[in-house]
Structure 1
Amino acid sequence: MMSTPHRSAPGAPPARPRIPGAPVLSRASFGGMGAARPLSVLDAGAARLVTSGRIAIALALREMKVKPGDTVLVPAYHSPSMIPPVLACGAEPRFYRIRPDTSVDLDDVAARLDPSVRVLMVTHYFGFPQALATLRAFCDAHGLLLLEDCAHGFFGEYQGAPFGAWGDYAIASSMKFFPIYEGGCLVSARHPLSGVKLRSPGAGFEAKVALTTLENSFAYGRLPLVAALLKLPLAGKDRLWRALKARRAPGSAAPALAPGSSDSSYDFDPRWLDKRSSLFSRLMLRLASSRRIGAARRRHYAALQAALAGLPGIRPLFPALPDGVYPWVFPLLADEPARLARLCAALGQAGVPYVRFGETLWPGVDASVCAVSADLSQRLVALPCHQALTARELDWMLGELRAASTL
């Protein structure tokens, strides 16, 4: 699910280069047919393309017929956006422990079972797989439905099968991996999803997604020729929008043209449940090169891992990058919260985007529920490794990381 990239402090001098925290539209996501094509959740089974991963969670729970009085087991280390879909169907989220390597603590899961538990939700943190064969066997033995949260792993495989193929249902967040403004998917290898009917949110949504995707690209210096050609039309669009806002009654708000998930909000709006992803985003999923995206993410991850070697007080969360893993971001651990605070302050001041996944946990989830989750929330930061990073941006970011680690 979404986590907000941290940026430079207000009033800080502009950094150069300015680095996108997520993929933006550029040539980096297209072409490149040499590498092997990575498996994706869309290879796992029937799929429906929606506007976000949290909407896909809500649809999965609806398909599972989760109802008031039911319990959904959710990892204690999580994005807060994972919880409102559970509450929206009247179910209780019950949090289970993870181990320091982010694997599911099945002993703790077993201790939390009772007749109300219907679903076990598992997260492939940062794109690294859980022990899916073991989890599938556990769910089958206990009569549970397995929901794979592939928000961090649109691409990836486990024992030769794509992420999403092991669960009764799976969800993913395509906007973490593709240069798009919105996008998620619901997938099932076991059910046809024939009951999931979707429709377009309308022309305003379609236009906003396409224009915002382009504007995000232009803001980071990509597609300069296209930016020059569209400079006047986009300026006219901005003037028209300001005029329309000025005509609204004081205190009134325009209806949202896109879900809050597109702007890193944790909100859950059920009005988006029957809405499909935009035509623009669906087209990008068809045209973008999964080969190039996957190869670049692995290459950038390896460069970050090499740069960390020998740096004081920080280390990668995962000691190696296995085959079949295509990371969302590069997670690293500081040896203590104070060092993480210094590191993040320095990175933010320099203009390096970063993500603090799990920095905010659901109210009541603390060290008494899961000490590992509480610890990760205070010591983990993640840097971008997406395909849109240029060689210059990556080198500059590595230099800033080395400098920040000495503070």
Structure 2
Amino acid sequence: MSLRRLAIWPTLPLNTYFRKPADQTPFPLNQEGCRIFSLARQAIWNASKSMGLQENDVILTPAYHHGSEVEALLQAGLKIKYYDINENLEPDPEELESLITEEVKAFYLIHYLGFPQNATFWKTWCEKHQLIFIEDAAQAFLAHFQGQPLGSFGQMGIFCLYKTYGIPDGGAVICTSPPSLPQVPAKLGWWKVFKRHFNWVAAHRGELGAIHLWVSPIIRWWKVKRYKPHAEFNLDDPNTPPTKLTLSLLPKLLSEETFEIRRKNYQYLLDQISEWVPMPFRKLTEGACPFAFPVQMDNPTAFLEKLRKKGVMGLLFWINPHPSLPVESFPQSKKFREKMLALPVHQELNQSELDQIIHAVKTSI
């Protein structure tokens, strides 16, 4: 059976090398104080140091997180005090106020899946409590709130560029006290570029997608055999710069159309399969730039396997929290981890591929 393989991560078209650089550069890349490292977690570590946060300072951090950002904060010598989110993925101001002590110096807010939190409210709230406002816009590059770019409201904004474009890496940070530029020699990044090119071809040629469908169980078995718990949180060298191919390809990929295409794709999927979308994401809010399309299932593992056989490579979103999190103490975050899945919505998808995703979901329930 010939199936196009559609993955969460944006693919890299083969003609990228022949494109002209974009005329305009979006926030924060157009800011003099913007720094780009290989990974966003490295940007967090460096910015935490440059912002003057001291060892053992406490950061209010969401229990619903990836884990790499938590590890970066811990490696920077900081302490974490977790807070839960409500059913709309929003923090509760009353809960947060009960957590504030003299040791608490910053508040960490995540804009989940590219959907903006009320950044204006949280900026004012942080000012009232004299806390550093850290905005995690890793999934929200190009998104905005009330006409202002996400990541620009706080004293620190974090962005993960390869979640939006098919480049090898790239974690950007903008903050009131910019860190030094990374000093380690940059790698080329050819292997990750090859994989993004492969994904682009597999999304357009069913023959490659069918091959991947056949070999993927073997790849998964091999990964399980070599699995190292919590390795996905590793900071590596925090002074690692982005690869050379990231810096050369990114200007050719930047486009004002990316924001609109992602929104258009999201709305098209939403119109067809909204009944399985978690409540916070059932409306495409103004300013959102979707990273992925979320669905919520009681049997996520079996559902994902059915999708895979139909060529749609979804994932269980943030299933593994940082080991420092007492999972049972944060029930709402636990619920999202166990049931929320992410499906492709990126700008390289065409109409036929979106229809493939819709068909796969409807026939896998």
Task: Tell me the TM-score normalized by structure 2.
Answer: 0.84
Pair 32,369 (structure 1): closer, same or farther in 2 beyond 3 Å: farther
Matched residue, 1:281? 246
Determine if contact 1:29/1:388 at 8 Å carries over to the other structure.
Answer: no
State the identity %. Answer: 23
- How far apart are the structure 1 equivalents of 2:254 and 2:26? 12
* DSSP-derived class of the 1:66 partner: coil
Within 5 Å, give how 1:45-56 maps onto structure 2.
46-56=33-43
Question: Match of 1:181, as an amino acid?
Answer: P
Report whether the alignment pairs 1:332 with 2:295.
yes
Matched residue, 1:246? none
Deviations 1:190-243 (A, max 9, x none): 34x2x41323524xx12xx1353134313541799xxxxxxxxxxxxxxxxxxx
Matched residue, 1:156? 143
| Residue from 237, 258, 267 that aligns with 2:234 | 267
* DSSP-derived class of the 1:46 partner: coil
Within 5 Å, give how 1:108-187 maps onto structure 2.
108-187=95-174
Matched residue, 1:106? 93
Within 5 Å, give how 1:282-297 maps onto structure 2.
282-297=247-262
Report whether the alignment pairs 1:221 with 2:201.
yes
Cα distance, 1:91 vs structure 2: 1.6
Aligned residues: 338
Report whether the alignment pairs 1:394 with 2:357.
no
| Residue from 289, 308, 323 that aligns with 1:348 | 308
Cα distance, 1:65 vs structure 2: 2.3
Cα distance, 1:302 vs structure 2: 1.0
* DSSP-derived class of the 1:103 partner: coil
Question: Match of 1:111, as an amino acid?
Answer: S
Determine if contact 2:139/2:291 at 8 Å carries over to the other structure.
Answer: yes
Report whether the alignment pairs 1:359 with 2:319.
yes
Matched residue, 1:304? 269
Cα distance, 1:356 vs structure 2: 2.0
* DSSP-derived class of the 2:54 partner: coil
Moved more, 130-139 or 120-129: 130-139
Cα distance, 1:128 vs structure 2: 0.8
Cα distance, 1:392 vs structure 2: 2.6
- How far apart are the structure 2 equivalents of 1:391 and 1:142? 48
Report whether the alignment pairs 1:79 with 2:66.
yes
Matched residue, 1:248? none
Report whether the alignment pairs 1:381 with 2:341.
yes
Structure showing greater radius of gyration is: 1
Task: Tell me the TM-score normalized by structure 1.
Answer: 0.75
- How far apart are the structure 1 equivalents of 2:19 and 2:269? 22
- How far apart are the structure 2 equivalents of 1:326 and 1:38? 16
Cα distance, 1:41 vs structure 2: 3.5
Matched residue, 1:198? 182
